Structures are given as C-alpha cells and as structure tokens.
Amino acid sequence: MTDKYAVIGNPIAHSKSPLIHAAFAKQTGQDISYEAMLAPLDGFTAKVLELIAQGYKGANVTVPFKFEAYNLCDVLTERAQHAGAVNTLIFTINHIKGDNTDGAGLIRDIASNFGIALQDARILILGAGGAAQGVFQPILAQQPARLVVANRTLDKAQKMASQFANKVAACTFEGLKNQSFDIIINATSTGLTDTALPIPDTIFTKNCLAYDMMYGRETPFMAQARAAGAQVADGLGMLVEQAAEAFYLWRGVRPQTAPVIAQLRKA
Ligand code: NDP
C-alpha cells in the first residue's frame, strides 16, 4: 500500500516539496505519495488530525505553521527543541513526533555541495527570525571560529544570542563596520521584497561564501555580495537537503540530492 505524506502551509501552491519528494521516491523505489495541502490560518491542528485519521504517515510543515507544529507535538527531537520550531512531523500509533531538518539541510548544502568547511570559519547570520533560530545550534556544532548574528531589531538578535551562552555575538547592521567573514548567511526575508540590506561591502572577504536562504532569483544581497567578490549561493540546495533529511526520517533511505537540485535549477 502506498504510504501518504504531505506538506502543510498557507500559502502552499508555490511549494516545490511535492516535486522533490516525487523525485526522491522514484530514485529510491519507495512507494509513497506526497501532496501540498493548504490549511486555513486557524486550521493547522485540524488539518494534522485529519491527515492522521486518513492514515498519513507524516508531513512537512512550512510558513506560517512551524511554531504551531512545535506546540502540537507529543515528542520533540533535540534539534527541534533547539530550533523552537518543527518542519517535519512523524505520525506513529501513539504520538506525533516533531523534528526540524532546516539546519541540517543548510549545513549539508554548504559543507557537502559547496565543499566549504564551517569549522574555524568566521560566520555571520543576517536576521533573527524563525529561519535563523533553526540554524544556530547546527552551525555551533561545526565549531566555527566566530558566530555573529546581525538584525534590524537589535534586541531580537541579543535574545537569540543569549540562548547560546557567550558563543554567539549580536549586533545591528551598523555594528558590522570593521568586521569581515568567511561565510555570510542571509536569513532575513528581504529577498521576498527585493529590499537591499544596509550592510557594508567590507564584510565580504574575497571568495567568502554569501548564502541567501531565499531561492528562485538573485536577491539584492546576492548582487551586492557578487559585486564585492564573494562566491554566491541561493537556498535551493538547503530546500532539497532539508527534504532529503525528512525523507530519511520517514523512509530510512537517504536519497541523492545532486540530481534533484540540478533538475529544479533546470526547471
Ligand atoms: P521571519 O519572518 O521569521 O524573519 C524575518 C527576518 O527578516 C527578521 O529578522 C526581520 O528583522 C528581517 N527583515 C524583514 N524585513 C526586513 C527589512 N526590510 N530589513 C531588514 N531586515 C528585515 O522569516 P523566516 O525566518 O521564516 O524566513 C526568512 C527567509 O528564509 C525567507 O526568505 C524564507 O523564504 C527563507 N527560508 C528558506 C528555507 C530553505 O529551505 N531554503 C527554509 C526556511 C526559510 P526584524 O526582526 O527586525 O523584523
């Protein structure tokens, strides 16, 4: 019997997850279905319970439900607890288990696909929202030389940094003057509105990696980084890698991601 999975979000029509999981299933010979499901803004829990009643085995969760998913779970993995948000649900007979694969997806994209070591690197995260929160612990586990979070609203960055006792420094964009980095990750949502960030060109060292979590088009952050001599990446690889991690949790099989990333880039 085909095992059923879904991604729940609002909006959801744009989601590439059904394409990605269909490609993984074909590649690994797993008999699964995977659909995009729109949940009303006040109807996330009802949608999850509906899927469970229909025999679904699990689901991915995307904007704006990752925090609600966190609160709904009976069991949380350590990385979901650190992230404070859940993007992968596993339905078992007794409980709903929640995990967060976003951080692992980002690390795998940078380390494996781009071949760039995070260990001993000076790393900057721009933004202190949900996406940023999910990647601190996985990045710290790689033992960077330095980890800084810069955000428009300073107290949010400070609050985030304070969770990691002296391991993360917080500042405003203004505070980035006279600092430079080997890896810079844009985890703000400014790419969605084509807004440039007030960050100095001097933060980009030559050949540093400038990684925008947003995917699908060149953002002002990517354009600025490219002009400053950085190597530039978007978040498509992270998207596919976080999906691969979820697929592994559900099916116990690790799909190859490179052909799927190439397929999506071509499309
Ligand atoms: P949130 O809404 O939680 O956070 C938004 C962040 O962007 C905040 O830090 C906010 O700053 C900052 N911001 C928004 N507008 C501006 C602005 N005009 N100038 C400066 N800073 C601004 O969003 P998420 O963290 O959920 O998502 C962030 C991005 O990451 C999105 O583009 C999303 O698509 C992407 N993403 C990609 C994934 C992938 O798999 N590739 C996975 C998850 C997310 P402030 O605190 O001051 O408001």
Length of the chain: 267
Q: Tell me the domains of the chain and their CATH numbers.
A: 3-100+238-266 (3.40.50.10860), 103-234 (3.40.50.720)
Kindly tell me if the per-residue pLDDT of 169 is higher than 90.
yes
Nearest CA to ligand 1 atom 46: 153
Instruction: Read off the amino acid at residue 110.
Output: I
The alpha carbon of 53 and the centre of ligand 1 are apart by a number of angstroms equal to 34
User: Active-site residues: which are they?
Assistant: 66
Amino acid 207: pLDDT = 86
Question: What pLDDT was estimated at residue 267?
Answer: 87
165 confidence band (pLDDT: 50, 70, 90): confident
Pocket probe mutation, ligand 1, options 188, 197, 199, max atoms within 8 Å of Cβ = 188
pLDDT per residue as tens digits for the range 204-225: 998 899 999 999 999 999 999 9
Q: What value does the mean pLDDT take over residues 69-94?
A: 96
> Computed over its alpha carbons, how large is the radius of gyration of the chain?
18
Please, which residues have CB within 8 angstroms of residue 7's CB and are 6 or more apart in sequence? Answer: 15, 17, 18, 34, 35, 36, 37, 59, 60, 61, 62
Give the mean pLDDT of the chain.
Answer: 97
Omega of the bond prior to 64 within 30 degrees of 0, cis? Answer: yes
pLDDT in tens, 12-45: 999 999 999 999 999 999 999 999 999 999 999 9
Name the residue with the closest Cα to ligand 1, atom 39. Answer: 239
> How many whole angstroms from 205 Cα to the centroid of ligand 1?
24
Report d(CA 59, CA 228) in Å as an integer: 40
Question: Which tokens sit at 239?
Answer: 């998207």
At residue 57, the pLDDT reads: 98
pLDDT for the residue 184: 98
Q: Atom 29 (ligand 1): residue with closest C-alpha?
A: 189
Which of ligand 1's atoms lies nearest the C-alpha of 188? 7
Which pLDDT score is estimated for 11?
Answer: 95
What is the Å distance from ligand 1's center to 137 Cα? 18
**Model confidence pLDDT, tens digit, residues 257-266:** 999 999 999 9
Ligand 1 atom with the shortest distance to the CA of 131: 25
Q: Ligand 1: list residues with CB < 6 Å.
A: 102, 127-132, 151-153, 156, 187-192, 195, 197, 213-215, 235, 238-239, 242
Between the CA of 192 and the centroid of ligand 1 the distance, in Å, is 9
> Ligand 1 pocket test: which of 152, 172, 174, 264 has the largest number of ligand atoms within 8 Å of its C-beta?
152
pLDDT higher than threshold 90 for residue 130: no
Percent of the chain exceeding pLDDT 90 equals 96
